């Protein structure tokens, strides 16, 4: 079974996220944060006060001399309370890493949609400037030069901060959110500090909560300052295709496509028409909405991500992506096993089998029962998230994984799914129904306690297993009690009662190997395997192990009910669970069934110290 989780991504212009409607030209300008000494030039601006802004950032760079015109946003104190050791003042720290002083007169600071103009103020080389609101400079004076901007407010929930030169060239930008803090430090009193002032790409990974015991380092070197280069390319973390039209690709970090949107559209599979595309770099998500009806049921589409990179220029290895959907029809999904009378502290389960050649979305399946009037009830969604059941795969559905695993073996972690709501199954009789999202019946079983093997005196904790996929679910003779040799249930894997190839003769029913084994824990021939291939149900097994003197050293099986194919093992221990002495031992193997057939085998084996 394949499981897709969620991770998300958006494309940031200098004033927010963008959703691009694709027109005939396919033109779509991408933008990214500056790298090194590169900054972006905004193509068009309506008015000097930045109101009614339109236009987009061009992927063309305008180079500046860093020593002349580089200032970075270096520290953010958005929520100073509860106080730790600094004044009750919000502040923003700017840093000039250049070798000459820089006058910030007419520089522009935007806080979301608000913009503030700097007065005539100089920031010294390798120096700091604290930006605060009205009246704040007096409180911050002990920490260095401060400038007051009327109406300056840093929201606790975060905002996009952008710093522009008087010529409207973007110098620096960061979108801060409380989640950028270390765990336990997002409720106030501590600042966010820039780690590497020389890094201008992938800024979300270049900030951390201050380590200062005062709660910040205004006007001083940041407590977290260090070289912080990004050399890791983005990766595709998961793929989600929902509503038969929306493709979602989740990356490990903000990923940027090469070229234009028109170039990207050419990589999509032939015949698919994209109505819109959205990149979200805050949550690392690409979404493509396809035109209704262009994605065909049962078709798998493929295309390749090639040349995608992160904001720091690390190129992602080429990645081939497959997506599509399939709407199952009757008999594509089969009910394969039901435990309706569990042990105390145990849990019911219903096992389904994918009998189709397609992956099936579990979020579009429902499990239900029927009331006394045969009306559907307790209709419960199998999975609240998109997960897929592979062709030929088994999946046990339950209310409690722990309630199943406490008593039974499951051969893989993903073969047992805990549902948010699981229908209550009657301990004596009832009906189990599998539905699609339109409540069409895919398979249905009417079960009862009387369907169990008549030899079994008590059915608590024993599941009913399907025998054949080729025989209808409704036929009661297609169901059998799970074998004792399999622990009375097989959740998430092949049934003990499942049809297997029958042996040509009784001589092929038993295979013992290796005949010489050394139970010394060295990992080589440590156990004796006993393979049993009955080929039909109803066989009972007894195995007695004797030494060369004819004395019983262990009863390995005592009236053990078998499935069609089973395997037992002898670990070289006697009845007292101590290692037997090296030597020759005889296995008396006796099988009998209700039809009167009896099969007896005597097999000699050798236990040795080493091989």
Same domain for 199 and 246?
no
Residue 160 lies in a domain: yes
User: What is the domain count for the chain?
Assistant: 4
CA 582 to centroid of chain Cα atoms: 51
Residue 104 lies in a domain: yes
Helix (H) or strand (E) holding 115: strand 114-117
pLDDT in tens, 176-217: 999 999 999 999 999 999 999 999 888 888 999 999 999 999
Q: What CA–CA distance (Å, rounded) separates 66 from 72? A: 11
Confidence at residue 483, expressed as pLDDT on a 0 to 100 scale? 85
The neighbour count for residue 240, using CB atoms within 10 Å, is 18
Confidence at residue 141, expressed as pLDDT on a 0 to 100 scale? 94
Q: Whole-number mean pLDDT of the chain? A: 85
Confidence at residue 13, expressed as pLDDT on a 0 to 100 scale? 27
Confidence at residue 535, expressed as pLDDT on a 0 to 100 scale? 73
pLDDT in tens, 34-89: 333 332 222 222 222 322 222 332 232 233 333 335 899 999 999 999 999 999 99
Confidence at residue 48, expressed as pLDDT on a 0 to 100 scale? 29
Q: What CA–CA distance (Å, rounded) separates 350 from 447? A: 12
Across 213-348, the runs of DSSP E, i.e. the strands, are 236-242, 246-251, 274-280, 285-290, 300-305, 319-324, 333-339
Say which DSSP state 598 is in: E
Same domain for 253 and 315?
yes
- C-alpha distance from residue 226 to each of 485, 513, 545 (Å): 62, 62, 70
Residue 50 lies in a domain: no
Same domain for 471 and 526?
no
Same domain for 408 and 464?
yes
Residue ranges in the chain whose pLDDT is less than 50: 1-68, 502
Confidence at residue 173, expressed as pLDDT on a 0 to 100 scale? 93
Confidence at residue 264, expressed as pLDDT on a 0 to 100 scale? 84
Q: Considering 457, 486, 515, which residue would you say is the last residue of a domain? A: 486
Same domain for 156 and 299?
no
Same domain for 275 and 373?
no
CA 306 to centroid of chain Cα atoms: 23
Confidence at residue 564, expressed as pLDDT on a 0 to 100 scale? 78
Same domain for 533 and 559?
yes
For residue 93, give the CATH number of its domain: 2.60.40.1260
Which residue range forms the structural domain that includes residue 166? 66-209
């Amino acid at each position: 079974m394949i499981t897709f989780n969620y991770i998300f991504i958006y494309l940031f212009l200098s004033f927010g996220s963008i959703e691009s409607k694709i027109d005939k030209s396919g033109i779509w300008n991408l933008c990214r944060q500056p790298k090194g000494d590169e900054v972006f030039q905004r193509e068009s601006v309506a008015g000097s006060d930045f109101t009614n802004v339109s236009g987009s950032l061009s992927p063309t760079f305008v180079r500046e001399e860093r020593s002349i015109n580089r200032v970075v946003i270096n520290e953010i104190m958005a929520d100073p309370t509860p106080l730790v050791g600094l004044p009750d003042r919000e502040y923003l720290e700017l840093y000039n890493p250049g070798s000459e002083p820089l006058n910030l007169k007419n520089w522009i600071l935007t806080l979301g949609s608000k913009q503030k103009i700097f007065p005539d103020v100089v920031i010294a080389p390798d120096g700091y400037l604290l930006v605060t609101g009205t009246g704040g400079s007096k409180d911050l004076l002990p920490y260095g030069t401060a400038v007051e901007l009327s109406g300056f407010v840093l929201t606790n929930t975060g905002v996009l901060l952008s710093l522009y030169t008087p010529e409207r060239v973007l110098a620096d930008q960061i979108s801060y959110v409380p989640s950028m803090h270390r765990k336990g430090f997002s409720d106030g009193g501590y600042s966010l500090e820039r780690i590497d002032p020389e890094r201008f790409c992938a800024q979300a990974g270049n900030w951390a909560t201050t380590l200062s015991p005062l709660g910040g380092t205004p006007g001083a070197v940041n407590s977290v300052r260090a070289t912080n280069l990004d050399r890791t390319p983005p990766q595709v973390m998961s793929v989600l295709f929902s509503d038969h039209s929306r493709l979602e690709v989740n990356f490990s970090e903000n990923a940027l496509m090469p070229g234009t949107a028109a170039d990207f559209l050419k990589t999509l599979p032939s015949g698919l028409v994209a109505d819109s595309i959205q990149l979200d770099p805050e949550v690392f998500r690409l979404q493509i909405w396809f035109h209704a009806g262009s994605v065909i049921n049962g078709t798998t589409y493929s295309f390749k991500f090639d040349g995608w990179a992160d904001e720091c220029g690390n190129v992602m290895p080429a990645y081939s992506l497959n997506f599509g959907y399939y709407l199952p029809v009757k008999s594509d999904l089969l009910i394969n096993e039901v435990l309706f009378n569990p042990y105390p502290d145990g849990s019911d389960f219903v096992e389904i089998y994918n009998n189709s050649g397609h992956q099936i979305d579990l979020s579009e399946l429902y499990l239900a029962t029927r009331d006394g009037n045969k009306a559907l009830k307790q209709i419960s969604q199998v999975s609240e998230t998109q997960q897929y059941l592979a062709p030929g795969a088994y999946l046990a559905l339950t209310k409690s994984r722990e309630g199943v695993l406490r008593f039974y073996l499951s051969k893989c972690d993903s073969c047992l799914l805990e549902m948010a709501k699981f229908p209550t199954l009657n301990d004596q009789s009832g009906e189990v129904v599998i539905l699609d999202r339109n409540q069409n019946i895919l398979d249905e079983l009417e079960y009862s306690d009387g369907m169990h093997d008549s030899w079994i005196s008590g059915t608590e904790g024993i599941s009913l297993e399907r025998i054949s996929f080729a025989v209808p679910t409704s036929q009661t003779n297609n169901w059998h009690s799970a074998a004792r040799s399999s622990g009375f249930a097989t959740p998430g894997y092949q049934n003990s009662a499942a049809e297997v190839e029958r042996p040509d003769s009784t001589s092929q029913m038993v295979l013992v190997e290796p005949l010489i084994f050394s139970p010394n824990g060295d990992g080589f021939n440590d156990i004796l395997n006993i393979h049993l291939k009955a080929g039909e149900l109803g066989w009972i097994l007894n195995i007695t192990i004797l030494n060369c003197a004819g004395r019983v050293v262990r009863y390995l099986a005592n009236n053990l009910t078998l499935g069609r194919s089973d395997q037992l093992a002898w670990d070289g221990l006697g009845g007292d669970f101590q290692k037997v002495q090296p030597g020759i031992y005889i296995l008396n193997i006796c099988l009998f069934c209700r039809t009167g057939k009896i099969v007896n085998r005597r097999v000699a084996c050798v236990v040795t110290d080493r091989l």
